[in-house]
Amino acid sequence: MFTYYLIVALFFGACAEEQKEISLPEHHQWHTVTLDFEGPETSEKAAENPFLNYRLQVEFKHADTNYTIQGFYAADGNAAETSADSGNIWRVRFTPDRLGEWSYHAVLQQGDSIALKEDSETGNTIDITDADGAFLVVPSDKQAPDFRSKGRLRVSNGYFRFGDTGDYWIKGGADSPENLLAYEDFDGTYRMQTSNSEGEASTNDTIHSYTPHLNDWQEGDPTWQNGKGKGLIGALNYLASKGMNAVYFLAMNIEGDGKDVWPYAAPDNFTRFDVSKLEQWEMVFQHMQSKGMLLHMVLQETENETMLDEGDTGPLRQLYLRELMARFGHHLALQFNLGEENGPADFTPIAQNDVQRKAMIRFLTKIDPYDHPLLLHTHSHEPARTDVLDSIVGFKDLDGLSLQVDKREGAAAVVETWKEKSREAGHGWLISMDEIGMWHTGAVPDAIDPEHDSLRRYVLWGTLLSGAAGVEWYYGARNRYNDLNTEDWRTTDRLWELTHYAMRFFEDHLPYWEMQPEHTLVNSKEAYCFRKAGEVYAVYLPDYEEYSIDLSSVEGTFTVQWFDPLNGGDLQQGSLTTLTGGSVQNLGLPPKADKKDWVVLLRVAKEK
């Protein structure tokens, strides 16, 4: 009889365990898990500041790993739709990287400035609903370009790389408008002050509507509050349709050029945040990630880099960074940029110094559970650029540079210089060519420069073949469509096409993360050569001429194929099919006798 009861007990115990496993909520790997907890009723303006004097932390545990994620105050839990500034919902967002069962434990604490404190024992614990739970993570159901099919983007070997799949990724996209988030459909968004200052794009009292892109919004795309958001969502759809995968934007430009973007409930109180606005930002960011678009989040401008704590990483800066990390750090492809034109220059002498800059970097690294890429935006020329970079090159917590260069003819050399300097310092940098000058011009509309010859030659191909990890296009301050008033990305439709052709060439044909520039191998100062010695060479040639390449240090036979930078498409056959190593070799002629640029691809012939 005892044996019978034991068997029955074991059977029902096993069934109960199986039922428990089956009944767990399911989430997909790399998809955001959003958990809401009911806690104390409060508001953005409450005397007991919900952003500063409360701290929500949630520990997520898996058999292989665990994360502690900071949560945030979410008003009524539906603020994007209701514009609520009060409620009792506290929220956390987490992106699981492992399959299988996860558990979580949430703790909400209250205390003076507790949001800035590290000690988990500090403060009074506040009761919240459903503080403990579990869920099951199953494989993602998304396909590229959605980042949820790839995992989290990090930095490896001086390039962007997905940590889960190991795939490398090259960037191309928009650097303008920098005030992308100055959008009329976001709550609490307006221009504080117009500007017509020398060195800045002129502004009036109108902020972005993106009306030209309304028709690019598609059924099923996100909106809020009865159809708001279609202009910006449509604009991002258009850019994605051109093969672009990155967008640069400021998270705060108080005292800066636009004076129209901030996360705060009011631009003169740096301890209170606008919950509904930030939830609307989040809807846009989610859409960008589904379209495979990197969030290039620029944290400050040169004009306001000492606005918080006089440049130190004190309480106001810490609160700002913690709030952004809590609300948006869960995104898979998010690049933090320390700040536009960071550091002193003749036009911006009041700036963060080296000690302050490094302190901010260290703090961001400490509070980031996901190891997002962290880059520094540079000044455009010497000596201002070098004065800052010489003091920070080799600093382990900085992943690289968001490069600005004023004179496009020298952009490739600047990339090559800082790639080499960073390697010599023991910490090779990722360098992205993000802002090309001159400051007043940048990239002009197709109607003015139909083929963007100098950008295509010196910036696009020149920097990528010198080790850059991507490019973004800046529209300049004095153009009709400038860095602050751009409403329609179609004005440079051709530039997006040319950029996509280059990106596809790198993605389809080169192990670029294993290659180095060696331009002197070609008998022209106007050519660019990127190589993995003895295996593959990509050579940009500026016109229809016969050029030679020095292969004297390598052996073997190399196939010769040509790529058309103006039209993209498949590789083509020129006048030669193979070259032999061991000497200087003529590259032959490209497929068409025209006076334009070509890229020749040499690859070691595989043995049959």
| Cβ–Cβ < 8 Å for 44, 275 | yes
Q: Mean of the pLDDT values across residues 372-399? A: 97
| Cβ–Cβ < 8 Å for 571, 564 | no
Q: What is the DSSP letter of 411?
A: H
pLDDT on residue 7: 39
The 10s digit of each residue's pLDDT in 539-596 is 999 998 889 999 999 999 999 999 999 999 999 999 999 999 999 999 999 998 888 9
Is residue 20 scored above 70 in pLDDT?
no
Provide the 10 A C-beta neighbour count for residue 310: 12
Q: Exposed (0-12), middle (13-18) or buried (19+): which is 146, by Cβ within 10 Å?
A: middle
Domain boundaries, the chain: 25-141, 153-514, 518-604
Task: Single out the residue of 571, 568, 569, 565 nearest to residue 536, CA to CA.
Answer: 571
pLDDT on residue 595: 82
Phi, psi of 602, rounded to the nearest 5 degrees: -110, 130
Give the contacts of 501 (CB within 8 A, at least 6 positions apart): 564, 565, 566, 567, 568
| Cβ–Cβ < 8 Å for 533, 553 | yes
Q: What is the percentage of the chain residues whose pLDDT exceeds 70?
A: 96
User: How is residue 608 written in tokens?
Assistant: 């049959």
Query: From the centroid of its chain, how far is CA 183?
Result: 20
Torsion of CA 71, 73, 76, 81, to 10 degrees: -80
Q: Which residue has the tokens 């083509």?
A: 572
Q: How far apart are CA 434 and CA 404, in angstroms?
A: 6
SS3 417: helix
SS3 432: strand
Residues in the chain, how many?
Answer: 608
Mean pLDDT, all residues of the chain: 94
pLDDT on residue 364: 98
**Parallel, antiparallel, or unpaired for β 264-266 and 269-273?**
antiparallel
pLDDT on residue 163: 87
Q: Which residue has the tokens 């940029």?
A: 337
User: How is residue 361 written in tokens?
Assistant: 């970097």
Phi, psi of 424, rounded to the nearest 5 degrees: -65, -30
pLDDT: which is higher, 322 or 3:
322
Residue 522 binned pLDDT confidence (cut-offs 50, 70, 90): very high
The 10s digit of each residue's pLDDT in 147-156 is 999 999 999 9
pLDDT on residue 544: 85
Q: What is the percentage of the chain residues whose pLDDT exceeds 90?
A: 90
Is residue 4 scored above 70 in pLDDT?
no
Query: From the centroid of its chain, how far is CA 68?
Result: 23
pLDDT on residue 424: 98
Task: Single out the residue of 129, 70, 64 nearest to residue 98, CA to CA.
Answer: 64
Poorest-pLDDT segment among 115-124, 532-541, 572-581: 115-124
User: Do 518-604 and 25-141 fall under one CATH topology?
Assistant: yes
The 10s digit of each residue's pLDDT in 206-257 is 999 999 999 999 999 999 999 999 999 999 999 999 999 999 999 999 999 9
Q: Which residue has the tokens 């502690």?
A: 68
User: How is residue 75 written in tokens?
Assistant: 């008003």
Amino acid identity of 368? D
Helix (H) or strand (E) holding 531: strand 528-532
Query: From the centroid of its chain, how far is CA 22?
Result: 37
Residue 14 binned pLDDT confidence (cut-offs 50, 70, 90): very low
The 10s digit of each residue's pLDDT in 57-106 is 999 999 999 999 999 999 999 999 999 999 999 999 999 999 999 999 99
| Cβ–Cβ < 8 Å for 531, 521 | yes
Distances (CA, A) of 544 to 113, 261, 590: 66, 48, 7
pLDDT on residue 22: 57
User: How is residue 62 written in tokens?
Assistant: 């898996």
Strands across the sheet containing 516-517: 516-517, 528-532, 536-541, 598-604, 557-563, 578-580
Q: Which class is domain 153-514?
A: alpha beta
pLDDT on residue 232: 98
The 10s digit of each residue's pLDDT in 154-181 is 999 999 999 888 999 999 999 999 999 9
Q: Exposed (0-12), middle (13-18) or buried (19+): which is 426, by Cβ within 10 Å?
A: exposed
Dump strand ranges (E) for 49-151. Answer: 54-62, 66-70, 72-73, 86-94, 100-110, 124-126, 132-138
Helix, strand and coil content of the chain, in percent to the nearest 5, comes to 25, 25, 45
Query: From the centroid of its chain, how far is CA 162?
Result: 13
The secondary structure of 282-338 as a DSSP string is HHHHHHHHHTT-EEEEE---TTTTTTTGGGS--HHHHHHHHHHHHHHTT-SSEEEE-
pLDDT on residue 19: 45
Give the contacts of 158 (CB within 8 A, at least 6 positions apart): 400, 419, 428, 429, 430, 431, 467, 469, 513
Handedness of CA 232, 235, 240, 246 (dihedral sign): negative
Superfamily classification of domain 25-141: Immunoglobulins (2.60.40.10)
Q: Where are the alpha helices (DSSP H) in 329-445?
A: 354-367, 384-389, 411-424
Q: Which residues pair with 246 in a beta bridge?
A: 173, 294
pLDDT on residue 608: 57
The 10s digit of each residue's pLDDT in 334-355 is 999 999 999 999 989 999 999 9
Amino acid identity of 111? G
pLDDT on residue 3: 42
Architecture of domain 518-604: Sandwich (2.60)
Q: What is the DSSP letter of 205?
A: S
